[in-house]
Amino acid sequence: MAISAEHQIYAELFADAPDTAVGFLRGLGVDVPDYDRSEVTSCDLGHVDPVERRSDVAIMLRGPGPDDPFGNLMGIVVEVQRDEKERKRFTWPEYVAALRSRHGCPVVLLTICPKQSVADWYAEPIHLGHPGFVLRPLVVGPSGIPVITDPGEVERHPSLGVLSAAAHGGQDMDVLKALHTGLDAIDQEKATKYIGFTLNLLAKTEGQAALEELMMTDTYGYSSAWTEGLRAEGEAKAILRFLSARGVDVPEEARERISACRDHEELDTWLDRAATITHIDELFAE
């Protein structure tokens, strides 16, 4: 089954910043050991078996151990779930047991659900059959993701800022402002990626429209391929609306050319011409 873009984005956010998972675990009351570093480890939790067994993200916390200054202190299996799937109740215990066996350390399961109803469904304990052998998934839904309105917090923890915007940006403009301002202070390539992630996770919501509008204003200094693309897209839409209002027929080929254009100078020229032309060929005249 193909993995959705939304699923991949949530997984990458935790892969980018493994400490984010630790923060959620501690918030859920898990006794996480003091560690020196966190790192993503192999997600392949299967054996010699034709059935693939891969978690979304597997994290290892390392620190001083009895025989190794960077020993394995705790493993974290991070799973992203958008829908209710009964099969996960059978594969998750295997993920935990496999990572525990491979690295010889305690392992916890953290499940991230973009929908609160799905999070509540997965929070039910998983009874494995053996007396007393029960796995209680640690689940985080939108209500468990912090509302981040401090740009400094986004600058320090951009992955968490994206998660906050995805969960709360549709209802709280301050969250989107914090994300926008905080990302303006980090590496532009990374900021562009995180803005793209957020727009994808907020797709077809008021939050997406609000963030796009925010990115188009002069209030914030953030500029990237995303903002330039949005500006060009807005100009193209304006040209098409203008032509439609004036009754100029726009064939599909011309519509695609206008929509795909990212040259602002050319778009400005077309916008000026759209006010007077009577035929689409006049728009593209040299």
Per-residue pLDDT of the chain (286 residues; tens, 9 = 90+): 456 778 888 999 999 999 999 999 999 999 999 999 999 987 665 544 434 456 789 999 999 877 777 899 999 999 999 999 999 999 999 999 999 999 999 999 999 999 999 999 999 999 999 999 999 999 999 999 999 999 999 999 999 999 999 999 999 999 999 999 999 899 887 888 898 889 889 988 888 888 887 877 644 444 555 556 656 776 787 788 778 878 889 999 999 999 888 887 898 889 888 878 889 999 998 7
Please tell me the chain's helix, strand, coil percentages from 3-state DSSP, rounded to the nearest 5: 50, 15, 35
Q: What's the CA gap between 161 and 148, in Å, rounded?
A: 7
CA distance 115 to 278: 50
In this prediction the pTM is 0.73
Answer yes or no: are the C-beta atoms of 158 and 183 closer than 8 Å.
yes
> Nearest CA to 136 among 29, 57, 45, 33?
29
User: Residue 118: phi, psi to the nearest 5?
Assistant: -70, -40
Looking at residue 286, its pLDDT comes to 78
Residue 203 near residue 217, CB atoms below 8 Å: no
What are residue 134's DSSP bridge partners?
127
**What distance separates the 2 farthest-apart alpha carbons in the chain?**
82
Helix (H) or strand (E) holding 38: strand 37-41
pLDDT of residue 217: 64
Distance between CA atoms of residues 258 and 1, nearest Å:
36
d(CA 285, CA 109): 62
Give the whole-angstrom CA distance, residue 136 versus residue 279: 67
Query: Are the C-beta atoms of 109 and 92 separated by less than 8 Å?
Result: yes
> What separation in angstroms does the CA of 165 have from each of 27, 45, 83, 185?
19, 31, 20, 17
Count CB-CB contacts under 10 A for residue 25. 19
The helix or strand, by DSSP H or E, that contains position 286, with its residue range, turns out to be: none
- Taking the C-alpha atoms of 149, 151, 157 and 159 in order, what is their torsion angle to the nearest 10 degrees? 70
pLDDT on residue 169: 93
Provide the pLDDT for residue 26. Answer: 96
